[in-house]
Amino acid sequence: MSNVVYRSWPAGMDNRSASHDLSRKPEAAVLRDALNVDILSSGKTRMRPGRKQVRADTGAHSLFTDSNRLVWATSSALKVGDENHTPTTVLSDSRLVAPLSWVALNGELYFSNEAINGKLVIYAYEPWGVVAPAYAPVCTPATSGEYRYTVTCTFVTATGEESGAPLGSTVLCGETPSLRLTSIPQSSDSRVVATRLYVTNVDGKDFYAQVDVPAGTTAWSLTGFFANGALLRTQFLEPLPPGQLIEYNNGRMYAASNNVLWYTEPLRYGLMNRAANFFMFPARITLVKGVKEGLYISADRTYFLPGAGTKDVDLVVLEDDRAVEGAVLKLPGDGEEVVWLSTGGIRRGKGGAMERVTDDRIAIEKYERACVGLVEKNGHRAIVVVARDGAANPLVADDFVI
C-alpha cells in the first residue's frame, strides 16, 4: 500500500460525513477533527496563539470593549477598566449577576439583562430613560366657570431628556383662565432639574408647554392663553423595560424581555408606548440584530422582520432552528452582515437573507448560551465562539477511521 502525504486540507473539517465518504485526494483532503489549530484559506493548518490572563476577577462576565476601554460585570458590580485594565466600579447591584447585552450609541453605552438596565455616559452610570411623574399637579381655578382646562406635567433633565406624562387633572375656570397648581410632583432622579407644566387650551385635548418649574418647587400659578407652547408628545410613554437582549436599529432601541420584543419611539431611546410598541413571539427571544432592511429575530424559529419600526413591518420565517442566546456578531465594514450561532450551526445574514455556513460538514454541540467574536491575526480572519452548557449533537459521526 502506498502512502499518501497530506500537506493541507483544502476542504477544511468534516465531522458529519461517514468515513467512507471523506475524500482521500490531497487536492480535496478533509480533516475529521481539529483542536487548537486554525485552518487557513490555503488549507494549511497553523497552531492557534496562546492566551494570557490580563485581570483576575471572580465571577467576571459580559466583557465589552468600545476600542477605548474594557467594561465588564461581576455578580454584583459593573466595572470599567483603564488602559491597564485596572477596574473602577461604576455601579453596585446584585441584579448584575445575569449576562448583559450591550449597545454603543452616540457616545453612550447601553446595557441590560432581564432584571436591570442602564447606560454609561463618559463611563459613569445613569438610568436608562426618565420615569414619569406618578400624578398631575392639583389644579385650583381662581374663579369657577364653564371653561374646561386640563393640566399635566413631565420631568426634564439638564440635557433636555424628557419623561412621559400622566393623566391630566381637569378644572372648570371662568372666562379669564387663572390656575393655581399645587403638589407639583418631584423626581427622585438626581438628573431631573425641572418639572415641565402643560395645559390644554379651553375645552381642548392637546397639551402645550407653559413653564419649567425648578426642582424642589411644589406650587405655581398660571394665567392667560395656554395654546402657545410646544405640543406634549410623551403622554403615557415610559422607559424601556429590562430585557435579556437589546439592539439599536433605524432610530429605535429594542429590548427582548423573555418572549416580548419592546421598542422605543423614533429617536426617543428612553421612551416607549407599552400599549403599542411591542412584538410577541411564542418562545423566549434569543436573537435580535438589526440591518438597514430590518431585524433578525429568533424565538421558536428564526425570523426576519423587514421594515421593523415602520407601519410596513412584515414577518418572514427563515428556518426552524433557533439562535443560541447571545451568540451574534456584526462583521466590520458597513455593519450590514451578521453572523450567529444557531442550534444547527453557523449562520450568516445580510439584507434579510440567511446562509447556512457549516451545516453540510460540521455538527456543533447544542448550547444554551454563547458569545461570538472576530479574531484577525497575521492575515487570518476567524469567527470565534465561546459557549457553555453544551449537549452532544447526534449528527456527529461516530466513525473516526479514515
Report if residue 332 sits inside a domain.
no
Report if residue 165 sits inside a domain.
yes
Going by pLDDT thresholds of 50, 70 and 90, the confidence category of residue 4 is low
26-74 pLDDT, tens digit each: 667 888 888 888 888 888 888 887 778 888 899 999 999 877 789 999 9
Q: Is the pLDDT of residue 401 over 70?
A: no
Q: How far apart are the first and last CA of the chain?
A: 15
In the chain, the number of structural domains is: 1
Q: Is the pLDDT of residue 399 over 70?
A: no
CA distance linking residue 185 with residue 196, whole number of Å: 10
Report if residue 156 sits inside a domain.
yes
Predicted TM-score (pTM) of the model is: 0.91
Report if residue 173 sits inside a domain.
yes
Q: Of 100, 96, 118, nearest to 109 (Cα)? A: 118
Region of 252 (left: φ > 0; alpha: ψ -120 to 50; beta: rest) is: beta
Report if residue 168 sits inside a domain.
yes
Say what the pLDDT of residue 166 is: 97
250-278 pLDDT, tens digit each: 999 999 999 999 999 999 999 999 999 99
Report if residue 218 sits inside a domain.
yes
Say what the pLDDT of residue 402 is: 40
Report if residue 183 sits inside a domain.
yes
326-351 pLDDT, tens digit each: 999 999 888 789 999 999 899 999 99
101-129 pLDDT, tens digit each: 999 999 999 999 999 999 999 889 999 99
Report if residue 280 sits inside a domain.
no
Which domain range does residue 211 map to? 138-223
